[in-house]
Structures are given as C-alpha cells and as structure tokens.
Amino acid sequence: MSNDETGTVALSGQCPLVATLPVSAQCDPEFCQKALNLLPLEFCSRLDGLTVLPNRRAFLIALDQAMAERPLQLVLLDIDRFGDLNACFGMAVGDRLLTEVGGRLASLQSPDRLVACLGGDMFATVEPLAPAGPAIPVLVDKLSELLTSAIDIDDTSYFLTSSFGLAQSPKDGATASALLEAAEAALAEGKRWGRGSAVTFRPEFVRDRGRAAWLAQGLQRALEGDRLQVVYQPQIELRDSSIFGFEALVRWTDEAGQAVSPTDFIPVAEQTGLITRLGAVVMTKACQFGAEIRRKTGRPLTIAVNVSAVQLHRHDFLATVERALKVAGLPPEALEIELTERALLEANRDAVAVLAELRRWGVVVSLDDFGTGYSSLGCLTSLPIDRIKLDRSFIEQLPRDFRSVEVVLAVLRLARSLSIDSLAEGIEGAEQAEFLRRCGCRRAQGYHFGRPEPAEAFLSGQIRF
C-alpha cells in the first residue's frame, strides 16, 4: 500500500473491483485496519465498489461498535432524483457522479467521523453527538455545500442537490440497524414533502410506516376475500332535488370489525399498487349497480367512480373500464370518472389521451375536490373536463363566511363561462342548498340529500327516490 500526492492509496493487484482507495477512507484507522487485514475477499465485500467508501455492511459493524461507546448523530444523504439523472445522461455518467460525490464526502472523514456509501446514491455519516448542538447539525450544511458545486464530466457541468434524514443514538435506535431505519424513515418523510429537505427522526414516522404496512397487508387480504364493499351517495339536481346519479365510494371493515376510512387506505393502496385491483373491483361493482338501478327505475341515472392517478397511468385502464361497462351492460354515457387535481396535474400525454378516448366513448370526466390543489385554474384550460366538483371546504362555511361566498361565486361564474358543469360537495343543510341553487349551481351532493348507502338500500326500494 503506497500513498501518492493525489491522495490515493494504490491497491493494484489486490482487488479487481477497485484500483485505488482515497486516503480519506482510512479515517477510522481501526476500522480500515480490520478491513485491510481481511484482504482480498473481505476487502471487496466491505467497501463500495464505486466510491471505495465503506459499504452498508461495514458501516453497520462500525456503527454498532461506536454506539456502544457514546451517543451518536447519524446523517443519511440521498441524491435527489438520481434515477432521473441516470435515465437522462446514462449509467456511465451516473457512476462518475457517484464516484465524485464519494470522493467529496470522503474529504469529511476524520478520526471522529465515518463516511460510508450505503448503496446506490445513498451515503451516511456518523459522528459523536454534540451535547447541545443545533437541531440540524452544521454537518448537514457542510454536506450540502460539498455537493452543490458543479461536477464536470466530459465538458459538461452537473449540479446535484440532496435530501437528508437524521437520527440520534440511543434515543432513536438502540442498535445500528434500528438507528439506520430511523434515519431512513426521516429521509422518506422529508422526500414526501419535496427534495432538498433535512428531517430529524420522530417516532410517528415509524408508526405511520408501520400502519401503512399493516393496512397494505389487510387490504390485500380483503381483496383476496372479496370483502371490499361499495356504497352509493345520491347526486341531485338543485332545481328540484331529484336524483340524477350516484357516487360510488369504497368501504373496508378490517378483520377486527373496525371501519377504515378511505382517506387512510387509498393512499396506501396507491403507494403499493393495490389501487389497480381495488379500482377494478370498484369499477366493476359500480357499473353493475348503475345498470341495475337504471333497469329498475327506467331512468337514465349516472354512476360516478373515483379514479386515482396511478390507475389512469396503467396501460390497461381503458380495457378495465371497457370490460366493466360491457359485463354490466352499462352505456358509457352513464359512467363518470372523478379525478383529483393531483391526478390531472400528473397526467402525462398517454393519460390525457386516455381521458380523451373515454370522453369520445361518452364517459363524463369530472375534477373532484376542486380548489384544494394549487393549480386548479390551469387544469380548467388545459385538460379535458366536463364537470368540476366544488370541495366541501368551500361549502362548509356557506352562506355566512363572505370569503367562501366570493370564492364559490367566482368558481361558478368561471365554470359557466367555460361551459363546464358544476356540482357542490358536502351539502349538510337546507340553507347551503338554497344559497347554491340561487347562485346558479346546478348540482349537489351531501348528507342533506342522502348519505352513502349500500346498493341494496336503493335497489330494494328501502330508500325511495
């Protein structure tokens, strides 16, 4: 092993994966000595092949030992959208970026601080916990600074940003892997809210993740056992309070007999991909109900089904809708799909084409929870929409709150001038209904007119309409 002036230690001939080891990788002499003593096989298995920093396995061993001695601060660093960089500029550039990042981070190594590459674009540092340090340690600024200056590769400058997850031992984890999991949970939480974040672990992050995993398992079993129910809420014409259709809303009662709210399990279904199966089940049942209630009443009633962004982007979404309509014998014009602003904003060109195709069939496309997103107006001009559903949050304060009144009036006027139909959600009282009718809102839905009920309640005539 020889040290040259470029700051690398030559290891040629010893490990086929790596030719050189940055001097800084020797930061923890004890650790490195152990690693080097185990050459060549153990050497390869304990260092990251690209950055030549200690890898996850080596890091966990070193962390376990250090944790036994004193409280520590762990900082996880993840390069933002590294997958996109790889996809755009190629893996070779991606590898060189990682090598450079590894080299830069290695410059922070000290006898008191270990830097490691945990795999992919995730790096970690660990150092003794400062007794009364700032909530986000100065090290995070140093790490960000190191990464923000350009990385030049073949005449092109690349700029990176990163997100951080922080955890402290023993408070956030008593073992190396528990501490790492805590920092990973903090990192994931930060990423939910955007990139470039630095988030310190809080126990609810794990509770949330634990609950999400629990919900996903339960939901999967409910799907297997066909135990998801669909209920239907009447949608009415404000002119005469007659029902023109229904919104299908999924219901799940878990194995302990507890009803779980869709606002809890739909996001989990979206994250796990279960939404595709769940969505197909709801679509099938809803079309079936739509066809039956039309046959029974002889009226051209419609059925609205909530569709998530994930479903809209599936290659087989059109086929799923087509099959459900066909099996039920429901005409496409009797079906409405409700998409949230987020779903519409995320719609890529293929998804917009899917919406256009559905509208060609006669399916109605509506924008759900209108006003809760941040670019509602943009959606109205650029996307194929037949109807907007004014979110309950605007309706709740009507007619007393003058701000809600002004917003609702402006939205109704806008919809009218763009020839887009409007429906107000969450009407709970006669006063709200009357106010909206007088403002020119044509349609509504809410507990005042009817709660969501099982299909049988409407089909059996138990609820008359």
Decide if residue 368 touches Mg ion (CB under 5 A). yes
As a whole number of angstroms, the distance between CA 121 and CA 374 comes to 31
Would you report the helix, strand and coil content of the chain in percent, each value rounded to 5? 45, 20, 30
Task: Please spell the DSSP secondary structure of 85-112, one letter per residue.
Answer: HHHHH-HHHHHHHHHHHHHHHHTT-BTT
- Binding residue for Mg ion (CB under 5 A) from 338, 398, 424, 433? 338
- Total number of residues binding Mg ion (CB under 5 A)? 5
Binds 308, which of Mg ion, ligand C2E, none (CB < 5 to 8 A, cut-off by type)? Answer: ligand C2E
CB of 299 to ligand C2E, least distance (A): 22
Stretch 41-60 residues interacting with Mg ion (CB under 5 A): none
**Cβ-based nearer residue to ligand C2E, 141 or 431:** 431
Please choose, out of 89-97, 115-123, 127-135, 362-370, the segment that lies near Mg ion by the rule CB under 5 A.
362-370
**Cβ-based nearer residue to Mg ion, 184 or 425:** 425
Binds 447, which of Mg ion, ligand C2E, none (CB < 5 to 8 A, cut-off by type)? Answer: ligand C2E
Q: Are 339 and 317 in contact (CB under 8 A)?
A: no
As a whole number of angstroms, the distance between CA 383 and CA 295 comes to 33
Task: Please spell the DSSP secondary structure of 214-260, one letter per residue.
Answer: HHHHHHHHHHHTT--EEEEEEEEETTT--EEEEEEEEEEE-TTSPEE
Write out the residues near ligand C2E by the rule CB under 6 A: 233, 249-250, 261-263, 266, 279, 282, 306-308, 338, 368-369, 392, 425-428, 445-447, 452
- Binding residue for Mg ion (CB under 5 A) from 306, 366, 422, 445? 306
Decide if residue 336 touches Mg ion (CB under 5 A). no
CB of 6 to ligand C2E, least distance (A): 56
Decide if residue 189 touches Mg ion (CB under 5 A). no
**Exposure string for 399-421, b = 16+ CB within 10 A, e = fewer:** beeeebbebbeebbeebeeeebb
CB of 174 to ligand C2E, least distance (A): 38
Q: Are 235 and 215 in contact (CB under 8 A)?
A: no
Decide if residue 376 touches Mg ion (CB under 5 A). no
Decide if residue 340 touches Mg ion (CB under 5 A). no
H helices present in 128-228, as ranges:
138-148, 176-192, 203-224
**Cβ-based nearer residue to ligand C2E, 42 or 453:** 453
In terms of Cα–Cα distance, which of 390, 344, 393 is closest to 365?
Answer: 344
Show the tokens assigned to 237.
């014409």
CB of 368 to Mg ion, least distance (A): 4
User: What is the radius of gyration, based on Cα positions, of the chain?
Assistant: 29
Show the tokens assigned to 91.
């893996």
**Cβ-based nearer residue to ligand C2E, 200 or 233:** 233
CB of 209 to ligand C2E, least distance (A): 21
In terms of Cα–Cα distance, which of 258, 335, 273 is closest to 301?
Answer: 335
In terms of Cα–Cα distance, which of 222, 229, 223 is closest to 248?
Answer: 229
Binds 428, which of Mg ion, ligand C2E, none (CB < 5 to 8 A, cut-off by type)? Answer: ligand C2E
CB of 396 to Mg ion, least distance (A): 13
Q: What are phi and psi of 367, to 5 degrees?
A: -100, 110
CB of 376 to ligand C2E, least distance (A): 15
CB of 338 to ligand C2E, least distance (A): 6
Residues contributing to the site for Mg ion (CB under 5 A) = 306, 338, 368-369, 425
